[in-house]
Amino acid sequence: MFNKLLEDIKISIKKSENIEEIEKIRIQYLGKKGILSNHMKKLKFLDVDKKKECSIILNHIKNKIIIIINQKKIFLKEKLLNQRILNEKIDISLPGRRIENGFLHPITHTINDIKHFFYQLGFTTIYGPEIEDEYHNFDALNIDKNHPARDSHDTFWFDSNRLLRTQTSSMQIRAMNQDHPPMRLLVPGKVYRNDYDITHTPMFHQIEGLIVDKNINFSHLKWIIYHFLYYFFDKNISIRFRPSYFPFTVLSAEVDVIDQNGVILEILGCGIVHPKVLQNVNIDSNVYSACAFGLGIERMTMIRYGISDIRSFFENDMRFLAQFKYI
pLDDT digits (tens, 9 = 90+) for 86-115: 887 777 777 777 777 778 899 999 999 999
Give dist(CA 142, CA 277) in Å, integer.
6
Say what the pLDDT of residue 98 is.
76
pLDDT digits (tens, 9 = 90+) for 46-76: 777 777 777 777 777 778 888 888 888 888 8
CA nearest neighbour of 266 among 256, 252, 276, 278: 256
Give dist(CA 325, CA 109) in Å, integer.
10
Say what the pLDDT of residue 42 is.
72
Say what the pLDDT of residue 244 is.
93
**Positions of the chain with pLDDT under 70:** 1-6, 197-199
Which strands form 289-296's sheet, in the order they lie side by side?
124-125, 183-192, 203-213, 289-296, 264-273, 249-258, 238-243
DSSP H helices, the chain, are: 2-15, 19-30, 35-42, 48-88, 106-119, 134-137, 170-178, 218-233, 275-280, 297-305, 318-322
203, 192 contact by CB (below 8 A): yes
Cα radius of gyration rounded to whole Å, the chain: 41
Handedness of CA 290, 143, 255, 200 (dihedral sign): positive
Give dist(CA 164, CA 203) in Å, integer.
10
Which class in CATH covers the domain with range 106-322? Answer: alpha beta
Domain boundaries, the chain: 2-88, 106-322
Give the global pTM: 0.66
DSSP H helices, 208-317, are: 218-233, 275-280, 297-305
